[in-house]
Structure 1
Amino acid sequence: MTVWMCVVCGWVYDEAAGLPDHGIAPGTRWADVPGDWRCPECGVGKADFVMTGL
């Protein structure tokens, strides 16, 4: 499981935790997050995230 961070606002997506409130189950890999998903803090797309940890 990896952690991804928004380069615009710093919000973090942790694959282990997922984002259940937004329909993304715990354990969902970044590659499996829908392509049209947006950062819940600032609204940018997946292209503006970088892997920050394993």
Structure 2
Amino acid sequence: MEKWICTVCGYVYDPAIGDSTQEINPGVKFEDLPESWVCPDCGAAKDLFEKA
């Protein structure tokens, strides 16, 4: 699974870890995150992420 990086703050979404701050379990691909998901560090939208 590919990691994605926030182009605003540099946060890396790692599917192996998920995002506990927004109840995203490990194993969820970036593409499968809800559209309402935002960067847990800066609040940037999904469209401001790029493949790491």
Q: What TM-score do you get using the length of structure 2 for normalisation?
A: 0.91
On the 8 A contact 1:2/1:16 being kept in 2, the answer is: no
How far 1:12 moved relative to its partner?
Answer: 0.6
**TM-aligned CA deviation for residue 20 of structure 1:** 2.5
Counting aligned pairs with the same residue, the percent is 44
The 4+ residue runs of structure 1 with deviation greater than 3 A are none
Give the count of matched residue pairs. Answer: 52
| AA in 1 matched with 2:19 | L
Which one has a larger percent strand, Structure 1 or Structure 2? 1
Q: TM-score, normalised by structure 1?
A: 0.88
